[in-house]
Amino acid sequence: MKYLPKRLSFDKLCGILVAYLNAVHDKEYVGVKEASSKVDIEPKSLSRNNGFLKSWGFLEESREAPGRYKLSPDAAEFASAYRIDPKSEVTKRSLERLLSKEEIIKGLVERIRREAPDRSEILVELPRITGDLKADKVGLNAFLDMLIYAFRLEDILQVPAEKKPPIVPKVKAIKPPRGKLAKEPGALRIPFTINISISPETSVEKLKESIKAILEAYDEYLGEKISKEGDSNS
């Protein structure tokens, strides 16, 4: 049975390996507390991931003193390279050599390259493939990120971009006009009725002037009314 990471990202897992590398020195095996003192990870978090690291060949446990560990030669090589340059191709190839010893990994990577499945599909299948049905989402993503890093699968299994909230354009409030209203088509008007009494002697020109004067007076009245309402609301 193979275990999957528990609640730690891929970077944190690499930090644990570097911590074990730094903690060993002249000692053959070290305990969890000694290793955790070399990395910003609580001993409990480090301890729950020792099962993962041991099952995939990163750690070797002492037979004489159970609970004390050291890096395997391949893991020590990777941790040393990762400590110097995590982005180096040499570093990635050293992790690839370690993981390629597992038939499960080789078959999974071949399938990913052949079928280019969705990332979500692989995450769902990983617990069944490895046998660790208690895996959490953070650990699953960490393990898949490890495969992407070691086997250079970035172009196939892209990390989903963070969803950002849609940008809502700001709508600028239109203030009511002050004073005389605009006379362009579509200007604000309120329906009204005017009755005009004319005599046969009233000329057309006089009638036009009367109607024009009434409309102008109405515009001035309405503009002043809106202006006063705006001042009272402010």
Query: Would the pLDDT of 55 be above 90?
Result: yes
Q: Which of 52-56, 77-81, 217-221 has the lowest mean pLDDT?
A: 217-221
- pLDDT tens-digit series, residues 165-221: 555 545 455 555 555 544 444 445 555 566 666 666 667 777 777 788 877 777 777
The token pair that represents 230 in the structure block: 């705006």
pLDDT confidence band for 24 (50 / 70 / 90):
confident
pLDDT of residue 207: 74
**C-beta of residue 54 within 8 angstroms of C-beta of residue 115:** no
Write down the mean pLDDT value for the chain: 84
Bigger pLDDT: 89 vs 226: 89
pLDDT of residue 53: 97
**C-beta of residue 40 within 8 angstroms of C-beta of residue 168:** no
Walk me through the domains of the chain, giving residue ranges and CATH numbers.
Answer: 10-151 (1.10.10.10), 176-234 (no CATH)
**What is the model's pTM?**
0.67
Q: Could you tell me which of 195, 198, 176, 197 has the C-alpha nearest to residue 187?
A: 176
pLDDT of residue 25: 67
Q: How far is residue 58's CA from residue 71's CA, in Å, rounded to a whole number?
A: 6
Place of tokens 């579509």: 186
Helix or strand or coil: residue 71? strand
The token pair that represents 216 in the structure block: 């102008």
Helix or strand or coil: residue 32? helix
Query: Would the pLDDT of 98 be above 90?
Result: yes
The token pair that represents 12 in the structure block: 């944190």
Stretch 19-48: mean pLDDT: 90
pLDDT of residue 69: 96
- pLDDT tens-digit series, residues 124-171: 999 999 999 999 999 999 999 999 999 999 999 865 544 445 555 454
